[in-house]
Structure 1
Amino acid sequence: MQSLGLVDIGGTSIKFAIWDGHALQEHHAITTPKNLTDFFDLLTSEVEKMKAMAPIVGVGISAPGAVDKQTGIIGGASAIPYIHNFKIQQELSAKFGLPVSMENDANCAALAELDSGAGAGANSLAFFVVGTGVGGSIIINHRIWHGAHLFGGEFGFTMATATHTVSELGTVPNALRRYQASNPQAAPIDGKQLFELASNGDEAAGKEVQTIYRTLATAIYNIQYSFDPEKIVLGGGVSNNPALIPGIETEIEKIRAQVKIASLKPDVVPCVYTDEANLRGAAVDFEQSYPDLG
């Protein structure tokens, strides 16, 4: 394929790279501007630099929020409020003088994993991003399932119990808050320490870690039996923890033992790409959006 400019818009920094068809080149990050004018100036300047370095035929963009690929508008909300609710894709294309594709960041990460990462060779997958909340993506026949209201893959909004969502019970930050509340005299800890305490027999930590495992296992089980993807890919910082998938799989087995008819075991794997995922996925999205140029 031909060269592309790639942009990954984040609340703290914006990443840039040139895709040469095989790897990211000139990969770097710049602090996210505080306003739309500076944002446009930065992206236009960086794309001009890319043009000078490579014969790029277009720009693929990974963005937060509910990206509507039909209208070129980013709905919803994010840490960058000024990019929402106007035809930003068309404006960027005009400023760059190039075709622009734009997709949600979690969807881009999922496309990267399907293309050449943990889901390579599959036609479908569910991608879970476990961070401060639980987001993700569903891909069917190599295409993102956006849903009628662009809520496809918002696993964190689903209910884990009668009173709590998957994001409330299945994430490390919320588990830490509950642990600190039950141990007000204890010094603050991070997620790694929470798992270490649990493995060393701390009952309160063990309870919270088990809650994470059970919640994610339930969500994964439900997605498996709703969409039946070939693979379930886990991303986000906690996916680096080697105890995570075994802990989830133990809970999935408990669910399968409880639901006797559940013969299928979800194939749960960790993501391959980390900081490159959104950029790589933006390249895949551009290829799908402009097949004659990719």
Structure 2
Amino acid sequence: MSQKILAIDIGGSAIKSGLWENDELTELPSFETPKTWDEMKAYLKSLVEEHQITEGVAISAPGAVNAEEGVIYGVSAVPYLHRFPIKQELAEFLGVPVSFQNDANCAALAEVWQGNAKGLESAAMMIIGTGIGGGVVINGELRTGANLFGGEFGYQIMNNETLETLSDLGSPVAMSKRYSKIKADEHEYSSKEIFDLAEAGDELAQEQIDQFYNALSIGIYNVLISLDPDRVLIGGGISTREDLLMNLEKRVQELLLQKGAKELKASIMPCKFLSQANLIGAVCQFLTEQK
């Protein structure tokens, strides 16, 4: 009987899960995020029993996860996960070993383990979604930082007057909200619609996309000159847009040239894993802990 690990990715609205067996991930149907910790535990127990999990459960979670301590600090869209010995409580409840790691760190681990950062000495992962998270890898290992803030690129301040951050200006979700607010025609535009409108000549859409690209380019520039990594990887749903990387690379090179850092070669690539990144990275964390 082959060993099976249950991989879980806890999101604000849904829980994704998968089975890791024979070095492969098989995705399971996703489930609406439970409203309470007791409901969450019951749901995880049902999965463990249904799939006869004996080896353990690998979890990707939001918030500032202290993997060693087994406690999640910070804040997230799932408030009941925070500030108690969650790892120990869940392991005892499920009767199998459990690991926890932050979701953006899981995405970084997946890339180092089996993706586009494999074999590199250093890499920075920038995950673009509702906000901007990320991870830093040095000597092939995750660098979570003294206060678990390593790779929280979204906190970079982009405007010293408004104190807007990279998450405020470089997130496609924030861009969509801004566009919808200015347009004020009672339609909530998606970022895809805004890109389509920009291509069709909509000036407001072009302006918002320009601002979005500028913020991300400055964010990447700051990461490059701070860490000088072998590669910057871009993740999140928007990373599948072919014009995104082309635009970012062009703008970042221009910034490096303008500021006299032209010897700094910017290697920017998309992440290999998209929707499965957090699940695969959670398994990597689990296997590392079990060693």
Q: Normalised by the shorter chain, which TM-score bucket?
A: over 0.9
Pairwise CA distance, 1:186 = 7.9
Does the C-alpha gap of structure 1 residues 142 and 205 become closer, same or farther in structure 2, counting only changes over 3 Å? same
- Does the C-alpha gap of structure 1 residues 174 and 16 become closer, same or farther in structure 2, counting only changes over 3 Å? closer
Amino acid at match of 1:221: Y
Matched residue SS, 1:243: helix
- 1:15 Cα deviation (Å)? 2.2
> Could you tell me how far apart the structure 2 residues matched to 1:187 and 1:45 are?
40
Moved more, 33-42 or 197-206: 197-206
* Separation (CA, whole Å) in 2 of partners of 1:187 and 1:60: 40
Q: When the two structures are superposed, what TM-score results if normalisation uses the length of structure 1?
A: 0.91
CA distance in 2, matches of 1:232, 1:2: 34
Cα distance 1:34–1:183, how it changes in 2: closer, same or farther (>3 A)?
A: closer
Distance 1:186 1:17, change over 3 A: closer
* 1:126, distance to aligned residue in structure 2 (A): 1.0
CA distance in 1, matches of 2:140, 2:286: 13
Query: Partner of 1:20 in structure 2?
Result: 21
Question: What is the CA RMSD across the aligned residues, in angstroms?
Answer: 1.9
Instruction: Write the deviation string for residues 84-139 of structure 1: whole angstroms up to 9, x where unpaired.
Output: 11001001111222221110011111111221122223232111111111111111
- TM-score by length of structure 2 reads 0.92
Structure 2: how far apart are the matches of 1:121 and 1:104? 22
Task: Indicate the larger mover: 232-241 or 86-95.
Answer: 232-241
Instruction: Tell whether the 8 Å contact from 1:220 to 1:266 is kept in structure 2 after alignment.
Output: no
Q: Distance in 2 between matches of 1:256 and 1:21?
A: 44
Residues of 1 paired with 2:229 and 2:260: CA distance? 20
Q: Spell out, residue by residue over 1:34-55, the C-alpha distance to the aligned partner (whole angstroms, 9 max, x if none).
A: 1111111111221122326xxx
Runs (4+) of structure 1 exceeding 6 A deviation are: none
Alignment of 1:56-71 (within 5 A): 56-71=54-69
Name the counterpart of 2:216.
Answer: 216
Shift of 1:3: 3.2
Change (3 A) 1:27 1:203: same
Aligned length: 288
Q: Which ranges of structure 1 fall in alignment gaps of 5 or more residues?
A: none
Q: Structure 2: give runs of 5+ residues left out of the alignment.
A: none
Q: 1:122 aligns with which of 102, 120, 123?
A: 120
The one-character-per-residue Cα deviations of 1:163-204 (angstroms, maximum 9, x if unpaired) are 321111111222223323433348543211211222333222
Q: Separation in 2 of the partners of 1:26 and 1:250? A: 36
* Structure 2 match to 1:168: 168
Q: CA deviation at 1:62?
A: 0.7
Contact 1:48–1:96 under 8 Å retained in 2: no
- Shift of the 232–70 alpha-carbon distance from structure 1 to 2, 3 Å rule, reads same
> For 2:64 and 2:27, how far apart are their aligned partners in 1?
28
Counterpart mapping for 1:123-272 below 5 A: 123-162=121-160, 163=162, 164-185=164-185, 187-272=187-272
Q: 1:220 is paired with a residue of what secondary structure?
A: helix
Distance 1:210 1:265, change over 3 A: farther
Specify the SS of the correspondent of 1:51: coil
Q: Does 1:102 pair with 2:100?
A: yes
